[in-house]
């Protein structure tokens, strides 16, 4: 008999987590509390409540929350202040959602008196690490149940057989084969893995993409967009102030319309294997380009370069699940400090898969001094003779080395 009397399950209402719910009841003979987060995945979540009720879960132990605003404001935007990309390309759409879910699982466990949390991440992936590192960081004594590391239901056929045996409702899409991909969606992105994509030499099928048109089918006319920033965060589009979640929602629509934000990537998972995934991140792709543009005129050169030096490490922290670790929190304070002067607007042109920066300005924090940078007469603002001594001093070590080489 397990000492776990109650567990909080990260529950989507789909086949996997529905099987997990029943499996927890049978294997651990414990009460199950379900948690479903609306992260902007674009699916109706009320059916998850009805399915949980069918399993005998009391209504007061079914938690369905709209966390879209919190997700973008407190997780996505702080990450974008660092211009974060993993392995040069990936905008971390799945990774950044996990710390929020982990936090809520732990909080609900405390509120309901549960000893454990449970998740549906497999033993091969990164998400198990992200959920569990986050949970342990927030509650070092929490117990964790990871069914994919315990059970023998290691194929879709076995899951289907278990569901039929125990009367678990199975959607027609599963009975008919469903999507050939494993997908994860939130306001920042949608990801695709598995099946056809497991051959890294095979081109992704055009029918797979859901958020973006192909660049070939995007409008023939470019569209201009003004994005306003305050302290590094986008706060308005074309002069209209919006909440964080609304900004990203509108950017997704515009980016999808113009075929922006597709990525086909073979990445290095934290657990050691290489994995091929495809991603659609239309709004995030626009946001990254625009944020770097506003920083280009508002950040000191060495501060900007320091941020670029630190970014790959910061990206790895998020990808590997260390959002709640002290090193990420400390680095975030530095990043946020740099954003105090990142205020102004950026104009981008959206055209057939491209985000082209065509203008940027800051009335309060621009470091661009046209009187110095001009190619015309600068009226003595910059003494060009100074450059000679500057160059000689910077060349001194190389001149010494060259003289030594010549004497040998």
Catalytic residues: 16, 98, 127, 182
User: Which pairing describes strands 233-237 and 223-230: parallel, antiparallel, or unpaired?
Assistant: antiparallel
Kindly give, in sequence order, each residue whose CB lies less than 8 Å from that of residue 246, ignoring residues fewer than 6 positions away. none
What SS3 class is residue 391?
helix
Angle at 49 between CA 44 and CA 55, to 5 degrees: 140
User: Which pairing describes strands 233-237 and 6-10: parallel, antiparallel, or unpaired?
Assistant: unpaired
Strand order in the sheet with 143-145: 62-66, 31-38, 6-10, 116-118, 143-145
d(CA 370, CA 274): 48
d(CA 126, CA 148): 13
Q: 262 exposed, middle or buried (CB, 10 Å; 0-12, 13-18, 19+)? A: buried
Angle at 26 between CA 23 and CA 30, to 5 degrees: 100
Please say whether the beta carbons of 365 and 344 come within 8 A.
yes
Distances in Å between the Cα of 283 and the Cα atoms of 85, 214, 230, 242, 339 are 14, 15, 18, 14, 20
| Six-digit token string for 133 | 């590192």
């Amino acid at each position: 008999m397990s000492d776990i009397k109650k567990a909080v399950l990260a529950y989507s209402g789909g086949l996997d987590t529905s099987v997990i719910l029943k499996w927890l009841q049978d294997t651990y003979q414990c009460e199950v509390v379900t948690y479903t987060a609306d992260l902007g995945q674009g699916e109706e979540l009320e059916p998850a409540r009805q399915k949980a009720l069918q399993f005998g879960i009391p209504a007061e132990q079914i938690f369905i929350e709209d966390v879209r605003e919190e997700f973008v404001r407190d997780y996505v935007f702080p990450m974008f202040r660092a211009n974060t990309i993993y392995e040069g390309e990936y905008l971390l759409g799945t990774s950044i959602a996990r710390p929020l879910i982990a936090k809520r699982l732990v909080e609900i466990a405390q509120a309901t008196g549960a000893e454990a949390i449970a998740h549906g991440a497999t033993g091969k992936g990164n998400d198990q690490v992200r959920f569990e590192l986050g949970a342990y960081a927030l509650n070092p004594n929490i117990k964790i149940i990871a069914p994919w590391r315990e059970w023998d239901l290691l194929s879709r056929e076995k899951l289907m057989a278990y569901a039929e045996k125990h009367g678990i409702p199975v959607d027609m899409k599963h009975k008919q084969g469903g999507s050939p991909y494993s997908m994860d969606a939130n306001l920042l992105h949608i990801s695709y893995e598995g099946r056809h994509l497991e051959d890294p030499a095979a081109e992704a099928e055009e029918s797979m993409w859901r958020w973006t048109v192909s660049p070939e089918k995007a409008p023939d006319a470019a569209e201009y967009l003004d994005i306003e920033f305050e302290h590094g965060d986008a706060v308005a589009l074309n002069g209209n102030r919006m909440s964080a979640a609304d900004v990203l929602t509108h950017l997704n629509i515009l980016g999808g319309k113009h075929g922006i934000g597709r990525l086909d990537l073979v990445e290095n998972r934290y657990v050691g294997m290489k994995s091929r995934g495809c991603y659609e991140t239309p709004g995030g792709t626009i946001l990254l380009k625009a944020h770097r543009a506003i920083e280009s005129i508002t950040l000191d050169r060495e501060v900007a370069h320091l941020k670029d030096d630190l970014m790959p490490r910061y990206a790895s922290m998020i990808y590997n699940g260390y959002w709640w670790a002290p090193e990420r929190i400390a680095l975030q304070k530095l990043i946020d400090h740099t954003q105090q002067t990142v205020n102004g607007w950026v104009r981008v042109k959206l055209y057939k898969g491209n985000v082209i920066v065509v203008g940027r300005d800051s009335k309060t924090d621009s470091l661009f001094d046209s009187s110095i940078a001009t190619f015309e007469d600068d009226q003595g603002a910059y003494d060009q003779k100074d450059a000679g001594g500057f160059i000689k001093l910077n060349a001194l070590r190389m001149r010494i080395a060259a003289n030594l080489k010549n004497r040998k």
